[in-house]
Amino acid sequence: VFRNKLEFFAAAKVSSSFPPPVLPEIAFAGRSNVGKSSLLNALTRQWGVVRTSDKPGLTQTINFFRLASKLCLVDLPGYGFAYAKEEVKDAWEELVKEYVSTRVGLQKVCLLVDTKWGMKPRDYELVDLMERSQTPYQIVLTKTDIVFPIDVARRAMQIQESLKKNKSVVNPVTMVSSKTGGGIRHLRTVLGKFARF
C-alpha cells in the first residue's frame, strides 16, 4: 500500500472540519521534532508531500493524507515544544482528544518517541487519553541511528515495562531510523495490514 501515491487532502483545526471517515486511518503523534514528518516521508518514499516542520509547535492542525483509496495517514500536531503557551496546549488537547477518542475508522495511533530522550510526561498524558478511550496504539522509537544499539534495546525494554499494565498498547515497541531506513520495512508491513484492498 505504501507504493501508492501519497496525497494531502484535508487539514483540520477543529473537529467539525475533520473529513468524512471513509478510509481506515493510522495516526502519527509525538513531541515536536521527534521525527514524525521524516518517518512519514520514509514510509511512503514520497519526499516533500509531508513537510518537515520549520516552526515546531506552531502547527496546530491535523493533516490528512491518503494512499490511493486504501489507507489514510494522519499527521497529528506535535506537542511539548518549550515555548508553547498554555492556550496552545489547551487547543492541542481539545483537538487531539476529540480526534483520538471519537474518530471512526481510526485503526491505530503510532506514538513516536525519540530513542535518546525516551517518554516524557506529555507522552504519558497522550497514553492515558488513548487508554481511556480504548484507542489502539503502538510506540515507535525514532532516530535509532544516533544511539548505540544496546541503548536502543534498553530504551525499548524500559518503555515496554512502563506500559505493561496498559490495555490498548497493541504491538511491541518498534524501532526505526528514517535516516538509515532501519525498521521502516517492518513498520510498513505492520501498518499495511490495515489497508483496504
Please, what is the angle between helix 36-44 and helix 184-192, to 10°?
Answer: 80
Q: Residues with Cβ < 8 Å from 182, sequence gap 6 or more?
A: 144, 145, 175, 176
Min dist CB 22 to ligand GDP, Å, is 26
Q: Which residue number, 135 or 178, has a Cβ lying nearer to ligand GDP?
A: 178
Min dist CB 20 to ligand GDP, Å, is 26
Q: Which residue number, 24 or 183, has a Cβ lying nearer to ligand GDP?
A: 183
Q: Which residue number, 51 or 69, has a Cβ lying nearer to ligand GDP?
A: 51
Separation of alpha carbons 155 and 63, rounded Å: 29
Min dist CB 29 to ligand GDP, Å, is 10
The residues binding ligand GDP (CB under 6 A) are: 30, 32-38, 52-53, 56, 78, 142-143, 145-146, 177-179
Q: Which residue number, 8 or 70, has a Cβ lying nearer to ligand GDP?
A: 8
Long-range contacts of 150-157 (CB under 8 A, 24+ apart): 151/115, 152/115, 155/115, 155/118
Name the CA radius of gyration of the chain, rounded.
Answer: 16
Min dist CB 76 to ligand GDP, Å, is 10
Q: Residues with Cβ < 8 Å from 194, sequence gap 6 or more?
A: 24, 26, 71, 107, 108
Q: Which residue number, 166 or 180, has a Cβ lying nearer to ligand GDP?
A: 180
Residues recorded for the chain: 197
Min dist CB 48 to ligand GDP, Å, is 12
